[in-house]
Structure 1
Amino acid sequence: MPITGHCLCKAVTYTVDVDAPLITAYDHCDDCQRQSGSTYSLVTVFPKDKLTINGPTKSWAGKGSSGHAVHRIFCSECGSPIAHDPDAAPEIIAIKAGTLDTEIKKKLKPDTEIWTVSKLPFCQESLAHPFKHMPE
């Protein structure tokens, strides 16, 4: 069964033709904190070639720690962040888990933390697989 989701205004929808994410991670990087306006961003990572996005998107590219661009995709109507697409890992894309359809979100089980080097000190709970940066 494909995984589906949409932005806040529903102008952007997407489908990922897989049964489950590769990982579901708390992303503590400073860029995700700023983009989400929160202490971390919950992301679900998928093979990029399985994703289809429909609707009006824009993207902004910043430089990741690898020195390569990270493209942040968002709805051009409501501004909801949809995904980040790192040039350093061209085979994957990280979908912002908050945009998944509600019944799918309810079944998520975060299994990884990334960029714990940027984790805020009051976020103490850890998962079994924390990484100081991106997993290699």
Structure 2
Amino acid sequence: MPLTGHCLCKAVTYKVDVDQPLITAYDHCDDCQRQSGSTYSLVAVVPKEKLQINGPVKRWAGQGTSGKAVHRVFCSECGSPIAHDPEAAPEIIAIKAGTLDTEIKKTLKPDTEIWTVSKLPFCQEHLEKPFDHMPQ
């Protein structure tokens, strides 16, 4: 069963032709905190070639710690973040898990915690083996 989702206004929909994400991570990086307006962003990392996005999206690129761009994909109508697309890892894209269809996101089991170097001090530990930055 593919992973499907949409933005808040439903102008943007997407489908990922996989049964499960490669990883599901609590992403504590400062950029994800700012984009989500929260303490972290839950992301479902999937093969980029398996993702199909439909609808009006905009992209904004910031510089990642690799020195390469990280493209933020969001709905141009309601502003909902859909994904971030790092040039440093061109084979993957990180879907913002909160945009997955409700029944799909209820089944997610986060297995990774990344960018804990930026984790806010009042956040509780989610997993036993977090990564200071990205897993190698």
TM range (shorter): over 0.9
Q: CA deviation at 1:125?
A: 1.6
- Secondary structure of the structure 2 residue equivalent to 1:124: coil
2:36 is equivalent to residue 36 of structure 1:
yes
Q: CA deviation at 1:124?
A: 2.3
Supply the distance in 2 between the matched residues of 1:15 and 1:129 (Cα, whole angstroms).
30
Q: Which residue of 1 aligns with 2:134?
A: 134
Q: One-letter code of the match for 2:115?
A: W
- Secondary structure of the structure 1 residue equivalent to 2:93: strand
- 1:1-136 aligned within 5 A: 1-136=1-136
- Secondary structure of the structure 2 residue equivalent to 1:33: helix
Q: One-letter code of the match for 2:50?
A: K
Supply the distance in 1 between the matched residues of 2:41 and 2:68 (Cα, whole angstroms).
20
C-alpha root-mean-square deviation of aligned residues, in Å? 0.6
Q: CA deviation at 1:119?
A: 0.4
Gaps of 5+ in 2: none
Supply the distance in 1 between the matched residues of 2:123 and 2:77 (Cα, whole angstroms).
32
**Which TM-score applies when normalising by structure 1?**
0.98
Q: One-letter code of the match for 2:16?
A: V
Which region of structure 1 is more displaced relative to structure 2, 48-57 or 118-127?
118-127
Supply the distance in 2 between the matched residues of 1:129 and 1:23 (Cα, whole angstroms).
14
Runs of 4+ displaced beyond 4 Å:
none
Q: Percent identity?
A: 85
- In the alignment of these two chains, the number of paired residues is 136
